[in-house]
A and B are shown apart, each in its own frame.
Chain A
Amino acid sequence: MRRTALRVFYDGVGLLIFAVMIFPIYWMITTALKPGKEILSLDPYWFPAPVTLENFISAMQVPFFWNDVVNSLTVVLTVVGISIVISFLAAVAVARFGFRGRTAFIVMVIGVQMVPLNALVIPIYLLLDSVNQVDSLLGVIAYYLAVVLPFMVWTLRGFVHNIPVDLEEAAMVDGASRVGAFMRIVFPLVAPGLVATAIFGFIQAWNEYIIAYVLLSSSSKQTLTIWLASFTTQHGTDWGGLMAGATLTSLPVVVFFLLVQRRVTGGLTAGAVKG
């Protein structure tokens, strides 16, 4: 009897925490779906009635929206395309070879993730300014590369490491060359990990704020995270539009994140969990 009561109590607390955590997201989406007079109301409307898409439509009509979508995609896809190749090579080296300087490389990869971007943005800005590359996507791409690389190397290392070396060796006994064994045996097995890591790199680059904020000053060159500020003017904030814009910006990230979360997010705590 007492056990059941305790279980019900725990369930109640669990549901309450769920409600508190998820409510802001619910509020963002429903606000985006409400007509203006329901948003600007002193007594909140808990459900959008009638549901309207006018906030989404007006958000997409904000100047430079599509422009900035293209910018975000250009930057992120370039970064992911290059970094997945570079990081995979490094991951193989770390997971499969013992070599002098390996620990130093690992220390660099882990340590560099702890360096705050807000500190580095000052020399980066001055550096790019002196070669007239401020306000160009190129500078941002170079920078994002270095931002996503360490994490990707680290995550991929885990994936490669988890594939038994015996498989490769068996293939080599059967006459495959080292490269052949790697391409035919290891690569197909690690491919899902590669996809997951690439998606996670996509998310990181898509969400980045401060570098894009400092480097990209003209509205035609900005990315979506910066574009969100355009809903706030001296006259106040267009909350419906902002919530619609925030929902639109979050959507691809949330979908992707749900796909890869279980596979990728263990990397940061690799040092503390037996794996």
Chain B
Amino acid sequence: MRAAGSIGAASARTRSRVGASSLRSLVARKGLPYALIAPATVVIIGVLGWPLLDLLYLSTQHYGLRELFQHQGRFVGLQNFATILSDPQFRYVVEVTVIFTAVNVALSMTLATIIALLMERVSSFVRVLLGAGLVFVWATPVIPAIDLWQWMFDYEFGVINWLLTRIGAGNYIHHNWFENPLQGFTVITVVVVWGAIPFLALTLHAGLTQVPKELVEAAQIDGARAWQIFRNVTLPTLKPLLLVLLSLSTIWDFQVFNQVWVMLNQRPNENYFVISVFSFQESFRVSQYGLGSAVAVVMVALLMIISFFYVRQTVRSINEAGA
């Protein structure tokens, strides 16, 4: 009886040890990928996800200077949203942002496509030179780039004013570009588009090399014109790439902040409030963090709609590739 019992216990022990080790190996096998992504997940959720939720929470708070000292906001429900949505200034902000985004995206995409197509047709020397120039512009950090454009558009000694006057475009001596917001935004557009072109043009140029040569030649033999080839052969091949670049550009241009803020020496007047600047101004200049957060929430929500397509396209392609 004792013997049988101890045998039974021993076999149970063996069985449980086998079970434990296979369980451990199962955990090791199944758990490994989770262990590998754990640190990244913790950092991303902790440092970005948590503030994102906090932003949502802050947008329901009255959070002014007094609350800043107390580190404690006062719950006001959706009042912040009601305030900004009925604020004519906010309407102006949204309108300006949308127009600015549309103009900048359209200009950068069109110019980049033209440059990419041109790069296929120039001699190899010019192609290399142009490619190198584009990479240099791309490499230039955004803040120094804004500073150098500020210098080029300086009202007194700026080379642009001299050039425009010289070629007879009018009298631009001592012309202040930022007095009139339309002209100011033109300057900002120049800076944004100049900075955006290299990435777009070089990516499109790389994409163009994937357009099947046989198709183009076949179309030429059939007597298609250059424009027809572009429309019926090149464009369909490039379509997914164009759509991704279009959504990326929209995402980037919609949240432009540095170009406005640094260009105007950190004191843009209210004509220059695009949505990101407005949110920043409400928070850190007027100390209405709740209102600023509400504006930011609107901005994030709009961006999420634009991003949806981009994220879906990217994830889908990865899953199709089986990796």
Which A residues fall within an 8 A CB radius of B? 7, 10-11, 13-15, 17-18, 21-22, 24-25, 27-28, 31, 39-44, 85-87, 89-90, 92-97, 99, 101-103, 105-112, 114-116, 118-127, 129-130, 142-143, 145-146, 149-150, 153, 157, 161, 203, 206-207, 209-210, 214, 225, 228-229, 232, 237, 239, 242-243, 245-247, 249-250, 253-254, 257-258, 261, 265-266, 268-275
Contacts and interface: CB of A to CB of B under 8 A. Distances in A.
Interface in B34-58: 34, 36-37, 39-41, 43-44, 46-49, 51-52, 54-55, 58
A40 B133 contact: no
Given A18-B133, A209-B143, A271-B313, A123 B58 contact: yes
Interface in B91-127: 115, 118-119, 121-123, 126-127
B135 A14 contact: no
Main secondary structure of the interface of A (DSSP, over half): helix
27 contacts: A14-B119, A15-B129, A24-B194, A40-B156, A42-B157, A89-B40, A90-B40, A93-B37, A97-B33, A110-B314, A120-B48, A120-B51, A122-B55, A122-B296, A146-B46, A149-B43, A207-B142, A209-B142, A210-B280, A232-B265, A239-B157, A242-B147, A250-B141, A254-B136, A257-B139, A261-B138, A272-B240
Contacts of A146: 43-44, 46-48
A103 B123 contact: no
A152 to B, nearest CB: 9
B311 interface: yes
B125 to A, nearest CB: 8
A248 B323 CA distance: 41
B44 A127 contact: no
A86 to B, nearest CB: 4
Chain B interface SS verdict (over half): helix
Q: How big is chain B's contact interface, by range? A: 35 or more
B257 A118 contact: yes
A10 B315 contact: no
A122 B289 contact: yes
